[in-house]
Amino acid sequence: MPAPEPLSLFTHLGSWHRDVREVPQALAAYEKAAAVNPASEGVLKTLAELYQETGLHPISPTGEVARGPVGKNRVALTFDDGPNPLYTETIMEELKKYDGRSTFFLVGMMAQQYPDLVLNLLAAGHELGNHTYTHPNITKLSQNDLIAEVLRTRVLIKDVSGRQTYLFRPPGGNIDEATTKQLRALDYNIIYWDINAGEYRKTASPEEQITRMLANIKDGSIVLLHNGPIDGTMSILPGLLAGLHAKGFTFVTVSELVAGK
């Protein structure tokens, strides 16, 4: 007898959970089914219904955020593209010096390779977001490929950590109306930034970059930094943290910043 298709395994499991009103378990099974084969219309329809049934998790009225509220002298530093064994632990050590928490937008294929780093991030109080599985330009993907990229990473993070992710950062900042709509339907908030460390990098020394960033980061800012292997974040992070701390800023996750708590 041939082995059953993973899609039918997950949909059978999901439908069974749904019948006995175990909605979170049903949702998890249908997410796996859609990550394996998003082309299945029935799976996507059921998944959309389950997201509605469990209640969506918008962190702002539009579900799109580029900065947080002012008034508490806080900033959200965000790190894209990790985890990776070169710098994730170092970034965590730097943040710890200031009792800081951050949001890390993980690439699924990296998280799959380094699950211990994913758990270490959570144990240190950081927040996890979804940055797709292979880091493509999502505006060039078919709808099915977009869903697979996003759900594969969501399922992976959930399998590793038990946590559902509700924050998404588009790779390369590439996003459009259609992809935004699809991501919102998958219960993701789109997280942009108002300060991009890369913009200060052009022909500037690390000291000059830090000076310019310190001049521009404001109460409520969301700062785009990276957790990749060769992105230069580590050349500015210690100085940036020290400078922001000296100006009285504290470092919180995107969700904390936006909630104003």
Q: List interacting residues with Zn ion (CB under 5 A).
A: 80-81, 171
In the complex, what is the shortest distance from the CB of residue 141 to Zn ion, in angstroms, rounded to a whole number? Answer: 15
- Is 126 marked active-site? no
Query: What separation in angstroms does the CA of 139 have from each of 82, 170, 173, 174, 180?
Result: 21, 9, 10, 6, 10
DSSP secondary structure letters along 29-73? HHHHHHHH-TT-HHHHHHHHHHHHHH----SSSSSEESB--SSS-
The pair of structure tokens assigned to 91 is 């970034």
How near is the Cβ of 137 to Zn ion at its closest, in Å? 11
Tell me the closest approach of the beta carbon of residue 39 to Zn ion, in angstroms.
Answer: 26
Alpha helices (H) along 62-176: 88-96, 108-113, 115-123, 143-161
For Zn ion, which is the closer residue by CB, 26 or 118? 118
C-alpha distances out from residue 33 to 2, 65, 79, 135, Å: 19, 29, 29, 21
In degrees and rounded to multiples of 5, residue 11 shows phi and psi of: -70, -35
Q: Which is nearer to Zn ion, 194 or 231 (CB)?
A: 231
Q: Which residue is nearest to Zn ion (CB)?
A: 80
Distance CA(53)–CA(49), nearest Å, equals 6
From the list 17, 126, 131, 226, the catalytic residue is 226
> Contact at 8 Å (CB) between 156 and 117?
no
Counting Cα atoms < 13 Å in the Cβ hemisphere of 122 gives 16
Q: Which of 80, 81, 126, 131 is catalytic?
A: 80
| Residues 189-208: b if buried by 16+ CB within 10 A, e if exposed | bbbbbbbbbeebbeeeebee
State in angstroms the smallest separation of the CB of 173 from Zn ion: 9
Nearer to Zn ion, 31 or 80 (CB): 80
Name the residue nearer to Zn ion (CB basis): 46 or 233.
Answer: 233
Task: Tell the smallest beta-carbon distance from residue 109 to Zn ion (Å).
Answer: 12
- The reply to whether 12 belongs to the active site is no
Nearer to Zn ion among residue 80 and residue 187 (C-beta): 80
Q: Which residues are catalytic?
A: 80, 226
